Amino acid sequence: MYRINVVKTLTLLFLVITFSVNAQHEATKTSHEEKASPEKDFKTKIKEEIRHHVKDSYYFDFNSNSETGEYNGFSLPIILFDDGLQVFMSSKFKHGKEIAKVGGNYYKLYHNKIYKTDASGKLSFDEHHHPTNTKPLDFSITKGVLSIIIVSLIVFLIFSSLAKSYAKNGSIPKGIGRFFEPLVIYIRDEIAIPSIGHKHYKKYMPFLLTVFFFIWFSNLIGITPFGMNITGNLAVTAALALLTFLITQLTSKKNYWLHIFWMPGVPWPMKIVLAPIELLGVFIKPFALMMRLYANIFAGHIVIYSILGLLFVFKSYIGGSLSFTLALVISILELLVAILQAYIFTMLSALYFGFASEEHEMEHTE
């Protein structure tokens, strides 16, 4: 049985995704930054609750209500770089109701973003009602980052124990390892070897195994009502696709670039036409990889919560029962989608690695 080595891959995966989540959390502009009407109808409130579920946050809330001021959960550490390192808990903001004074600086939480202010806490706005105050460099542990840490620890602990059981029991897994061993063998025999080949597949196995189980566990946790929307975050899928892209390019052989810039067996006028298209495809592939995972998971969250919201819109036994039944069926289908999306991402990554590491002599026909 192939010995599983996920420590290095998990570390790289965690670092890239963590910084990407913070960058996307800092850069994303939501519709909340527009001037809100003083009164909101019930459907608008449902939409806001759905958006609250799928977006990142500095708090880990459970069954909270912003209108009544009831917040159940815990705050997360804020890490800012502004005139030095500023570290404090997000509870200082009181969910955006108070100004946080740290190291002589004042910070205000406005629409889930941190801005630097004075002691009054006033913000200045442009013509589009976007704050113009300075935003410090934000390296905070948000809900998304904490979710990534939790999933990474789960993957690390499971497969560390699996590796130890192999060493102690003569390559025979025990306990939970008996469930995961067939999956590991399947990824090796049905994805890695057919796509990459016997000669080079081993060096890609740590990444393929790590990314498969990371995406699968992230998708499963995302189905829970805790709001841990990991792979439904564009920054996370972008980081995963970026890793696939970098590994593909850094491990590619000469045949890989030959088929891009000067395709064997193709007349030279067509080579000139096709070369830019093939080069563009190098960047389109990881982009498609990123969007496929993000769109499927994000859409699944939106659909389930929208259907659950119909429970409160219909306000009837028939409509409520149908909405609940439909939401339950889709949630069960999401269990299949969770592992299916992990499989697709892993399979496509293996195919890209196979293209990059392919070695054979081709006839160079002009």
| pLDDT tens digit sequence for 122-171 | 888 888 788 888 888 888 888 888 889 999 999 998 888 888 877 777 77
* Predicted local distance difference test score (pLDDT) of residue 341: 93
**How far is the CA of 115 from the CAs of 80, 96, 111, 139, 275, in angstroms?**
11, 11, 10, 14, 47
**Do residues 219 and 8 lie in contact, with contact meaning Cβ atoms separated by under 8 Å?**
no
Rounded CA separation 364/366 (Å): 6
User: How much is the average pLDDT of 13-34?
Assistant: 46
* Predicted local distance difference test score (pLDDT) of residue 363: 43
Any residues with CB less than 8 A from the CB of 245 and at least 6 apart, and which? 283, 285, 286
Nearest to 360 by CA among 271, 257, 254: 254
Rounded CA separation 60/76 (Å): 7
pTM for this entry: 0.79
Q: Is the pLDDT of residue 178 over 70?
A: yes
With tokens 């390559």, the residue in question is: 171
Q: Specify the amino acid at residue 328.
A: L
Q: Is the pLDDT of residue 186 over 70?
A: yes
Nearest to 84 by CA among 101, 100, 103, 99: 103
Rounded CA separation 147/152 (Å): 9
Question: Which is more confidently placed, 38 or 196?
Answer: 196
pLDDT in tens, 308-345: 777 777 777 777 788 888 888 888 888 899 999 999 99
**Do residues 83 and 103 lie in contact, with contact meaning Cβ atoms separated by under 8 Å?**
yes
Average pLDDT, whole number, for the chain? 79
